[in-house]
Structure 1
């Protein structure tokens, strides 16, 4: 699984026999701040990264690592990417666009060009590559551990013609392939099911006990997203997800529907 800024801080701190409180004192931050950075629920400040380099004697290792993280992802999205890479279970409900970690190159390109038309082709290509890296979490080979991924796609995700017919056929073919991965469960919530238990897309992340990270909810609006670790909100989101699962087609029926809709996307 990809290393993260917070995991690297923890690893070096422990190698130096330093406590979180000790690192907080050395960098000018609280023990709680260090804990949140290490768990991935908080993107650190530049001052903290520089303080880590001074405390650990690592040159500009952490300063450069933070710089790359901020270049790759907006500040509001970086905490989610860090946490997603550590998750053992990912549950996602998508209302009209396919989950980012399940998108094809062409589908992601079409979305990014539509949403950020002033980007240069090179900037769009770089963002597409970052999105595809998220998908590789679910494409590990034999003997490699993948997070369990449970996707619920509203029927609109299958029918919205992003990028044109050929792009959509390839995207649905990719979903059909993913649906057969051992660690992936995919369900479709049809239009016929009526009013959905949740009206907005969201993602739930669960983590291995070893990293001591509570479950989190990620919710994204127009140009901004937030990671929520409030137990009450996370519990409510899990309850809604259970209801979504109950009302969606079975995995077998969902796969059949994906293949059927694939044939409907014709030039």
Structure 2
């Protein structure tokens, strides 16, 4: 349904948008009518249909309810969201897209949200050498697509706080040119008003050596995501998230300020160039 003459050329969310449009027109609903029924603006519906904005989970569920399509659109949404990410990572992606604040601590490489395509590609080529070129490119594209939330307007982009261990600047991934590009990208991202970047220097013993992410929402408990050898699973038990937040507070208290962070990253950038 609605996949056009050349479905293979459409992204999963383009297919989703066209299917929503076809269902809406088949039921003789206007953009405003559908938006009102699921509590979204007509402009939001229009952007989703034209694939100018990725839908939210609530939007997909609401459309299924209005159209009487069971869980068809929700399942399509999950499949589009999963892309080439491992299945265990999909629950985190759903949380990430709803978060109002995201607190990230990384130890050896920048979080996927902040990785350049070249850097991500080098990580996959080193970490999973059996992947074909096409598989690597699909995974790089899926990782890069997460950055959509940083420029999102509706709902507002989340506030991002990143504590980056200095090892992320020193562990050479993909060679000098790849590292230089990654560090320049970090400097560019540090200019964003919704992003705070701090560097934890090698001279400081960190409160923890394990990377993790905390997410807060308009409604609902804080969520902790930490990965291990077998993947990761979000946790929202108050005692666990409170302890993680206390650790994060120590990490950012010991980290360098904005100017000193930028200066240290710039120094590393010049070394690679």
Give TM class, smaller chain: 0.7 to 0.9
- Measured at CA, do residues 59 and 232 of structure 1 come closer, stay the same or move farther in structure 2, by a change above 3 Å? closer
For residues 167-186 of structure 1, the aligned pairs below 5 Å read: 167-186=178-197
Counting matched residue pairs gives: 221
Partner of residue 133, structure 2? 121
Partner of residue 142, structure 2? 130
- Measured at CA, do residues 102 and 59 of structure 1 come closer, stay the same or move farther in structure 2, by a change above 3 Å? closer
Partner of residue 151, structure 1? 162
SS state at 1:192 partner = coil
Tell me whether 1:72 sits opposite 2:84 in the alignment.
Answer: yes
SS state at 2:126 partner = helix
Does the CA contact (< 8 Å) of 1:103 and 1:135 recur in 2?
no
- Measured at CA, do residues 257 and 74 of structure 1 come closer, stay the same or move farther in structure 2, by a change above 3 Å? same
- Measured at CA, do residues 59 and 213 of structure 1 come closer, stay the same or move farther in structure 2, by a change above 3 Å? closer
Does the CA contact (< 8 Å) of 1:2 and 1:85 recur in 2?
no
Shift of 1:136: 2.7
For residues 102-251 of structure 1, the aligned pairs below 5 Å read: 102-140=114-152, 145-193=156-204, 195-208=205-218, 212-251=219-258
Shift of 1:135: 1.9
Shift of 1:168: 0.4
| Unaligned segments of structure 1, at least 5 residues | 17-55
Whole-Å separation in 2 of the counterparts to 1:261 and 1:59: 49
Whole-Å separation in 2 of the counterparts to 1:256 and 1:265: 15
Give TM-score scaled by structure 1 length.
0.76
Whole-Å separation in 1 of the counterparts to 2:106 and 2:226: 11
Partner of residue 34, structure 2? none
Tell me whether 1:254 sits opposite 2:261 in the alignment.
Answer: yes
Whole-Å separation in 2 of the counterparts to 1:239 and 1:60: 41
Whole-Å separation in 2 of the counterparts to 1:190 and 1:139: 29
User: Runs (4+) of structure 1 moved beyond 6 Å?
Assistant: none
Give TM-score scaled by structure 2 length.
0.75
- Measured at CA, do residues 112 and 58 of structure 1 come closer, stay the same or move farther in structure 2, by a change above 3 Å? same
Partner of residue 81, structure 1? 93
Whole-Å separation in 1 of the counterparts to 2:61 and 2:195: 31
Shift of 1:67: 3.9
Partner of residue 42, structure 2? none
Partner of residue 3, structure 1? 55
Provide, for residues 219-251 of structure 1, a one-character-per-residue CA deviation record: whole Å limited to 9, x for no partner.
Answer: 001241110111111000100000001100001
Does the CA contact (< 8 Å) of 1:176 and 1:258 recur in 2?
yes
| Unaligned segments of structure 2, at least 5 residues | 1-52
Whole-Å separation in 2 of the counterparts to 1:90 and 1:71: 22
